[in-house]
Amino acid sequence: MSTPEPVLAPVAARYAWWLGLPADRTAEQELPPERVWAMPVVLRMERAHPPSRTPMLEAAATAAVAVCLDERAEPGGPWYEPLHAWTSGHIRKVARRARGSHWRAVEALPGVTVEVGGAQVRALVPCRVGELPHEVARLQISGSDLPGDEPGPPPPEVPELLLNPGITMSAGKAAAQVGHATMLLAALLDAPARAAWGRQGHPCAVRTAEAADWDRQVGRVADDPEAAWRDAGLVGVRDAGFTEIAPGTLTVLARRPPSSP
């Protein structure tokens, strides 16, 4: 009997093919909810103490990958089957906001909560969109926009997630995109580098790219995704176009730390 593959293996296998498609071929066909898998990502947004945007996005990015690399997601673990079913298709995420008793209810669901700079995000084990737990289905994403902040230079020892400076994304949309980015990073890193990142708690730095640098790096990724990863540690997230932005748009460029192979 063959050994089951890690939950992120399908993501790594699909990456270069997906990013290399022309934009007009990246739009996913809208499927009925009973056939679509998604990872719920819940942003804690208490009215009295709203979080800052950058820490919230960094918490979302870390939470998404932490679920995938949790020991419960390993073959034979209780999270393996739903996660592998999800990563074998498109890694959609469903972002929602919660506060008070609604947040406490979400905390009881299977998943991982990450806090960065006072911002909290809980990423849950994926399920079919038509089967979202009541605690998640009742939540909204409207009103999740957060004011911009000035986070300063990123730490050099953690992956950097660069947001596309030419588009506007809500906090919920951006949270899903940076979550895609950390999953791609984890899928493409070799085992020792992935383990080392895990021992740190999968930290990352989210920043908005400078326009000139964005154009230069996007050119490298678009021309040859595999070479961009091999030579510069760059991986791009291309959106499927369901909400807010056009299909095929590159939303995030992730850059591994220089010490990671």
Cα–Cα distances (Å) from 153 to 39, 76, 158, 160, in that order, read 30, 41, 12, 10
Q: What is the pLDDT of residues 17-61, one digit of tens each?
A: 556 655 554 445 555 556 789 999 999 999 888 889 999 999 999
Closest CA to 35 of 147, 136, 131: 131
Confirm whether 107 is domain-assigned: yes
Model-level pTM?
0.92
CATH number at residue 130: 3.40.1490.10
Q: Which residue has the tokens 């730490």?
A: 155
pLDDT at 34: 62
Confirm whether 26 is domain-assigned: no
pLDDT at 27: 47
Average pLDDT of the chain to the nearest whole number: 88
pLDDT at 26: 43
Confirm whether 3 is domain-assigned: no
Dist CA 36 CA 34 (whole Å): 6
Confirm whether 205 is domain-assigned: yes
pLDDT at 101: 97
- Report phi then psi at 198, rounded to 5: -65, -35
Dist CA 212 CA 209 (whole Å): 8
Q: Which residues of the chain fall below pLDDT 50?
A: 25-27
Contact 160, 255 (CB under 8 A): yes
Q: What is the pLDDT of residues 133-144, one digit of tens each?
A: 999 999 987 655
Confirm whether 209 is domain-assigned: yes
Q: Which residue has the tokens 């990423």?
A: 123
Domain that holds residue 137: 9-17+35-143+154-255
pLDDT at 134: 96
Confirm whether 194 is domain-assigned: yes
pLDDT at 49: 84
Confirm whether 1 is domain-assigned: no
pLDDT at 233: 93
E strands in 59-190: 93-98, 111-116, 119-124, 127-128, 160-163
Please give the tally of structural domains in the chain: 1
Three-state SS for 66? Answer: helix
